[in-house]
Amino acid sequence: MKSRGRARAYANIALIKYWGKRDEKLVLPMNSSLSLTIDCFYTETEVIFRKDVDRDYFYLNDKLQGKDTTEKVSKFLDLFRKAAGLNLSAVVKSRNYVPTAAGLASSASGFAALAAAANVASGLNLDNRQLSIYARQGSGSAARSIYGGFVEWKKGSSHQDSYAVPIDDAQWDIGIVIVMVNSMEKLISSREGMKRTVDTSPFYKVWVESAEEDLKHIKIAIRNRDFKKTGLIAERNGLKMHAIMLGANPPFCYWEPDSLKVMQIVRQLRREGIYCYFTLDAGPNVKILCRLSESHKIKDRLIQFFDPDQVIIAKPGPGITIL
């Protein structure tokens, strides 16, 4: 056993969204999803299993974390300890690399990096498919961050076949411009928001059917490198996800006035022939899928309205890296 492992994983932006679980404990999703891994947010994590500590310690950005956060990491490491027959506590050191002013933490890069580091440290040496299954149990979207480029997370029929697969390396003039509208912690966590939507939104059943349909079409568009179609499907799918939240009880909405402002700018850019498409997740920040070659033009427009620090250009990112 090596006992020490260190890895890096990148965040991803969903173009076909994951929103809702059919199994809360195993983190099995209601629908398959598809994302683009990005290069500008990542997490580096080191896991060391040690004989000389009597509990797990978790440092995030050099700060020792409290009971609740450490417990999440411990429960996740238990999966590896159990599989490897390991009875040691761990010291985990994690660092989130995010552009200034973003203040954005990604559970996707976090759990993917933790899974990859624990895989080495525990000596399990799982392949990427198994690693995706493990990462999924920490946070659904982490299943996708095992791979770079466009990635599909197949909902599967059980625990063992719900994992991500790489679809395309995205090396065809693709970029994402991120507009940090607000970097404050969200009031309703994804986990809570998903549960409320599944339990109460009358639109939920239609969402699941429609997301599977969108997925089928976006995969064809990506295969054909049809940028406009890829963007249009992604933009519509994102809007549908927010629509089902508006239908929940009580209803909720992650958008802020500035989110709408960005959507208007994107539509205006399209009218001018600069093809780009927006998508929002469980927060007010807007991600704009664009041609990487046009990303600076798009940023120039956005900084007429926003601080340059709020606008970040991302390229397609790679999969997990063992350090």
Of 191 and 261, nearer to ligand 2P0 (C-beta) is 191
CA angle 280, 283, 289 (to 5 degrees): 25
Element (DSSP H or E) covering residue 217: helix 204-223
Select from 281, 288, 299, 301 the one that contacts ligand 2P0 (CB under 6 A): 281
| Residues 56-85 interacting with ligand 2P0 (rule: CB under 6 A) | none
Q: How far apart are the first and last CA of the chain?
A: 17
Q: Count Cα atoms within 13 angstroms, Cβ side, for 149.
A: 12
Q: Specify the residue, 154 or 297, whose C-beta has the smaller distance to ligand 2P0.
A: 154
The region of 1-9, 16-24, 176-184, 297-305 touching ligand 2P0 under the rule CB under 6 A is 16-24
Query: Exposure pattern of 292-307 as b/e (b: 16+ CB <10 Å)?
Result: bebbebbbebbeeebe
Interface residue with ligand 2P0 among 109, 139, 201, 295 (CB under 6 A) is 139
Least distance in angstroms from the C-beta of 103 to ligand 2P0: 16
For helices 128-138 and 67-84, give the axis angle rounded to 10 degrees: 150
Which of the stretches 17-25, 79-87, 167-175, 208-216 binds ligand 2P0 when contact is defined by CB under 6 A? 17-25
Q: Does 19 bind ligand 2P0 (CB under 6 A)?
A: yes
Q: Is 107 in the site for ligand 2P0 (CB under 6 A)?
A: yes
Shortest CB 132 distance to ligand 2P0, Å: 13
* Amino acid in position 68: D
Tell me if 119 contacts ligand 2P0 by CB under 6 A: no
User: In whole angstroms, how close is the CB of 274 to ligand 2P0 at the nearest point?
Assistant: 25
Q: Which is nearer to ligand 2P0, 79 or 303 (CB)?
A: 79
One-letter identity of residue 44: E
Question: Phi and psi at residue 258, in whole multiples of 5°?
Answer: -70, -25
- If one asks whether residue 141 binds ligand 2P0 (CB under 6 A), the answer comes out as yes
Kindly provide the b/e burial profile for residues 36-61, where b requires at least 16 CB atoms within 10 angstroms of the residue's own CB: bbbbbbbbbbbbbbeeeeeebbbbbe
Q: Which residues bind ligand 2P0 (CB under 6 A)?
A: 14, 17-19, 27, 33, 107, 139-141, 190-191, 281-282
